Structure 1
Amino acid sequence: MKKLIIIGFVLLMGFANAQFIKYGVTGSFHNGSIAGIHGISKSRFGGNIGVFADLALVPNDIYDSAWLYFTPQLEFYTIGERGDWDEDGKDMQKYSNTYVALPLYIKYYIRNSGYKGDIYLMAGPKLEFLASEKQEEGYAALEAAFSGYDPAKFGLGRKINTFGYGVSIKAGSRINDQMEVFIRFDRGLSKVYSDYTAQNSYNRFLGIGLSYYIGQTN
């Protein structure tokens, strides 16, 4: 987590002399899962909250006219799922993880007749550090073993990685000068469980959110 905070600080300091910077807070609500593990599983709802800065990459000749930005974001987010190793619909296993993440977006406002429009697209890589994990598997591993199965086959009792990376994509619209709404899709590219080799396990979620600008520099 300290590494991500340091990286975020360095990025912001490196752009401290940018022509135009806006900054604010953001949050979203999503439905996500840890794909590729835990047998038959169901997604769970989660959310994230964070801070961000829009750093203009093109001239801002008049008030807020820049249409291309570099947008680093520092956030906390939760993700998890419910597993069902024996598919009986009873005593499902529960997984819930919390991450500190640093998405690094390029933000592009679609232009209308050469001018900045209200619709925007964002995409970029994301780094994440595991802040906490919670596994509620009960006696699932013992039940699998007593039934003649290897618990590892169903992803039970696996060790989670503390660092990961992936990609994040957003599409949104300005409501006014201070507020924007968006939809967001994130997909992990690194393994969530390092010692699970049957499939590639990764985080993914789809959600909706809101960004609110609280200040700017010129």
Structure 2
Amino acid sequence: MKKILLSAIAVLAFGFTNAQGVKFGVKAALNVATLTGDVEDASSLVGFQVGGFAEIKVSEKFAVQPELMFSTQGASFDGFDSKLNYLNIPVMAKFYVAKSFSLEAGPQIGFLLSAKEDGEDFKDFASSTDFGLNLGAGYDFTENLSAGLRYNIGLSNVSDFPGDSSSIKNGVFSVSLAYKF
């Protein structure tokens, strides 16, 4: 399944060779993450994301932007932190409503790299994949430098405790800065 998904993303990323232009870039973001659903007293946990992307211009107003991002997520609970680290692969559809301003939306799959609660590993009790929907906006300051706001709505349960029917989902707000080459 993972090979099929990664192959599909590769086709998306490199299949637009006849598009108007492809720009590659690097991106860093400040995350404000929490866990939603069947959780009590969860508060936000500040983290970060870092990675790369390709912006594939399909037309003057539309682009597809696949990304590969390392992301720290989770939540804080009354004195202890639940930290989840993912390798996220969002594929964003960007619509430029003005020359420098874009609105974006798209799906995301995340692969769990580690899960710790106060230093104790609980990866065996967390789902190995996370699906979400991203909504956001971006602004290009120059041809190369841009900033963005994005919210990831978790769609899948991140808890994988045996016999537990609770539904816990990621929710991540991020503010990013990107540089295109």
TM value normalised by structure 1 = 0.73
Give how far 1:12 is off.
Answer: 2.1
Give how far 1:7 is off.
Answer: 4.5
Query: What does 1:137-216 correspond to in 2, within 5 Å?
Result: 159-195=125-161, 196-198=164-166, 200-214=167-181
Query: What does 1:1-218 correspond to in 2, within 5 Å?
Result: 3=3, 6-58=7-59, 66-84=60-78, 92-111=79-98, 117-136=99-118, 159-195=125-161, 196-198=164-166, 200-214=167-181
Residue identity opposite 1:97 in structure 2:
L
CA RMSD between the two structures: 2.3
Cα deviation digits, residues 61-86 of structure 1 (max 9, x gap):
xxxxx2210111111100021224xx
Aligned residues: 176
Q: Percent identity?
A: 27
Cα deviation digits, residues 115-172 of structure 1 (max 9, x gap):
xx2111111010110011112288xxxxxxxxxxxxxxxxx99811001101111212
Moved segments of 4+, more than 6 Å: none
CA contact (8 A) 1:8 1:74 kept: no
Residue identity opposite 2:53 in structure 1:
F
Give how far 1:182 is off.
Answer: 1.2
Give how far 1:13 is off.
Answer: 2.5
Report the secondary structure of 1:11's partner residue: helix
Report the secondary structure of 2:97's partner residue: strand
- Bigger radius of gyration: 1
Structure 2 residues not aligned, in runs of 5+: none
Residue identity opposite 1:203 in structure 2:
N
Structure 1 residues not aligned, in runs of 5+: 59-65, 85-91, 112-116, 139-155
1:63 counterpart residue number: none
Greater strand content: 2
Residue identity opposite 2:66 in structure 1:
P
Cα deviation digits, residues 90-139 of structure 1 (max 9, x gap):
xx33211110011111101114xxxxx2111111010110011112288x
Closer/same/farther in 2, CA of residues 75 and 158 from structure 1, 3 Å limit? closer
CA contact (8 A) 2:67 2:89 kept: yes
Report the secondary structure of 2:142's partner residue: coil
Cα deviation digits, residues 29-76 of structure 1 (max 9, x gap):
021111134532221101101111111222xxxxxxx22101111111
CA contact (8 A) 2:116 2:123 kept: no
Give how far 1:5 is off.
Answer: 5.2
- Cα distance in structure 2, aligned partners of 1:158 and 1:197: 16
Give how far 1:8 is off.
Answer: 3.7
